[in-house]
Amino acid sequence: MNSLTEENYLKALFSLSNEKGEVNVNDLSKRLEIKMPTVTSMMKRLASKKLVNYESYKPLRLTIKGKKEAALIIRKHRLTEMYLVEKMGFGWEQVHNIAEQIEHIQSPELFAKMDELLGYPKLDPHGSPIPDKNGKMVWKEYIKLSECKAGDRVKLSAVINTTTDFLKFLNSRELKLGLKLNIKSVEPFDKTMVVNYGKRMSETLSHTVCERLLVEEA
C-alpha cells in the first residue's frame, strides 16, 4: 500500500506526463511546490517499488504498474467529484478539495458502489475521463474554443482549468457543459471572442478563457 504522499506524487506525474509528454524532476517540483531534492528522494523511493523509472538527468516515466496505480487514484477522485455533484447537490466548483481527501480511502467496494449508483459514468463533472476499474482511460478528441473561428457552432464539453475561481467565473457567465455556443466574431488582435448561447445573445470571452474551454462540433 502506498502512502498518501506517494499517491499524490504518482497522480501528479501521471497528469504532467499526459499534458507535457516528457517530465523531469523540476517539472514535478513546480507542480507539487516541493523542493527538488525532496522530489528526487521520492522518485528513488517509488523506483524501488517499481512504480517509476528513474535515472539522473533523464525524463521521469511511470512504469506500467505505476500508471495503473495513478489512474486508479484519479478514478477515485473523479468518481467522488461526480457523486458529490450528481447525488449530493454540490456545485462543480466545490468538489475538488473534498475529492482530494476521499481519493486516498482504501476501499474498492466504496468506489464500486459509487460507480454503480452513478450509472457507470465515463466523464467527471468537468468533462475529464474517469478511468475504469482496471485503470484504463479513454480520451475524447476535443479542440480548444480558442481554435475555432467566426460562424462555428460548437458544444462545450470539458474545461482544462478546474480551479475554484475559474469555475465560479464560468458560473457567473452561465457557462456549463453541454451548452451550444455560436461564435459571432473573433478579434484579430487579441483573439477575444464574442459568442451567444442560451439566453445570452452577446457574451465576450477573453483569449485566456477560450484557451481553457474544450469543445466539439455541435
CB 28 within 8 A of CB 42: no
CATH number for 114? 1.10.10.10
pLDDT (0 to 100) of residue 181: 98
Percent pLDDT > 90 in the chain is 94
**In a domain? residue 71:** no
pTM over cut 0.75:
yes
Across the chain, mean pLDDT equals 96
Q: Which of 101-110, 133-142, 148-157 has the lowest mean pLDDT?
A: 133-142
- Same domain flag for 201 and 150: yes
For 5-21, what is the mean pLDDT?
94
For residue 1, is pLDDT > 90? no
pLDDT (0 to 100) of residue 150: 97
- Same domain flag for 202 and 154: yes
**In a domain? residue 35:** yes
Give 31-45 as a DSSP string.
HHT--HHHHHHHHHH
Number of domains making up the chain:
3
pLDDT (0 to 100) of residue 20: 87
- Same domain flag for 128 and 155: no
**In a domain? residue 57:** yes
**In a domain? residue 68:** no
**In a domain? residue 72:** no
pLDDT (0 to 100) of residue 212: 97
**In a domain? residue 69:** no
Task: Give the residue numbers spanning the domain of 187.
Answer: 143-217
- 3-class SS at 16? helix
For 93-113, what is the mean pLDDT?
97
- Same domain flag for 148 and 178: yes
**In a domain? residue 74:** no
**In a domain? residue 70:** no
CATH number for 206? 2.30.30.90
Domain's final residue, options 36, 62, 88:
62
Give 116: exposed, middle or buried? Use CB within 10 Å, 0-12, 13-18, 19+. Answer: exposed
pLDDT digit string, tens, across residues 18-77: 988 899 999 999 999 999 999 999 999 999 999 999 999 899 999 999 999 999 999 999
Q: Which residue(s) pair with 197 in the sheet?
A: 200
pLDDT band (50, 70, 90) for residue 161? confident
Whole-number Å distance between alpha carbons of 29 and 88 = 35
pLDDT (0 to 100) of residue 97: 96
pLDDT digit string, tens, across residues 171-209: 999 999 999 999 999 999 999 999 999 999 999 999 999
